Structure 1
């Protein structure tokens, strides 16, 4: 009898050990499948400044609720509206609490674009704000730097797609669209992505509004190759804008 009790007890211990191992493996698989939060960058610059006055350019980088202190590359690109080919890039340095700072002195009047290029944790984002320097004629507002005119004029609408630097097929990829209108976050918009390859039927993906003009979703590209992501933005006030971006999927 003692012999059988010993055998039963040892068998129970072995089964319990196997169960623990399997559970740990499943948890590991779940952790590996988790999609990291998207990197967010918020530019802080004055709305107006004077010619010859040094301006502090600040961008704060976050991932979810975490301040990003280890961005691998942060710089500002500055150009006068309509003259992006003559832009100037300035390296930014990390100070504290996820803030990266650079300084720039504007040498002439006009409306200038300030774009931050932030690379952190295998993601890249490029928000843009404008600043008025010196004497600016409000009636002399040029079109965007690509010279494209939209079908409806609703002031300047900035549409920026944010995605990881490396996009791999058959994996859930976090995507975000940042919208600004008249230099302010554009909220309460309907944002859809039209994703397609050449000579293929498009996939339509609705995005969810978060805050401060940010809209997010996840998408699994079915195979490697070159894709076009066309971003459609509409709202109840008659706004209908779109832009597109090429995405290479590994």
Structure 2
């Protein structure tokens, strides 16, 4: 299978670059499935139903969220009824929505998407490792599902790396989100799981992690907030992670970053 994960979409620049370039990306890479993190897509804070509809219309198959899942209150009933949108699975039991989604591609392949949120420097949610162990026991790769993707929405690189090693050989892909900076460690782990610590963001990189520079700079320099954080408005760059797997085992055979846009150097996977 050929699967693309696009990192955190921040504001309009992130939405525009994803919606504009995704048809070309899907065609050029002959993608089976596309996942995007949409938790910052509404001005940097949460996601609306309208934005979700725009993503699906552009060719996104699944949207994952994160710690900003509920910043836009209108999304709560949408999470209840639309299984294509996932919030972290280790939220408390009665939290609206779901964190695990099962999908079938246009070629009839099955894919399981799991989103987890880390606990280091984040909200103290349920144990993501215990939850993941339960899922792996119930959903063996290569038997019940052809591809298993795990999004680890976490602050600490160590926690993301630990989850990658924990899942190695048992899922197709573990990718980190949340920190908005693409890491240079795309690799296939020893037992065959594709891994990258953070996919980066889809947004304006002439910013402070997607936000207009002035207010974050004031907060760092003076330690006094002077206004609201707002998404930067310059041209966007889309960053993500592309993975190919063996159809028999579901394990990775190839991983590459994907970067398209105006600021960061473009990187296209070598698919030929």
For normalisation by structure 2, the TM-score amounts to 0.27
Between the two structures, name the one with larger relative contact order (CA 8 Å, sep ≥ 6). Answer: 2
User: Greater helix percent: which structure?
Assistant: 2
Larger radius of gyration: 1
User: Greater strand percent: which structure?
Assistant: 1
For normalisation by structure 1, the TM-score amounts to 0.28
